[in-house]
Amino acid sequence: MNNNSSRTRNRIFFLTGLGIALLIAVFLSPLASQNPDGLDRVAQDLKFDSKAVEEQPAQKLPFYAIFDEYALRGVPESVATPLAGLVGTLATFGLAWGIGKLVVRKSPESDDASQLE
Amino acid at 29: S
- Per the structure, the count of domains in the chain is 1
The contacts found for 28-35 with CB under 8 angstroms, 24 or more apart, are 29/70, 29/81, 29/82, 29/84, 29/85, 30/78, 30/81, 30/82, 32/70, 32/81
pLDDT score, position 108: 61
pLDDT score, position 36: 76
Q: Spell out, as residue ranges, where the chain has pLDDT lower than 70.
A: 1, 52-55, 68-70, 107-117
Check: CB of residue 29 under 8 Å from CB of residue 77.
no
Name the residue range of residue 63's domain.
Answer: 1-33+59-106
pLDDT score, position 110: 47
Q: What whole-number distance in Å separates Cα of residue 98 and Cα of residue 28? A: 26
In a domain, 42, yes or no: no
pLDDT score, position 53: 66
In a domain, 8, yes or no: yes
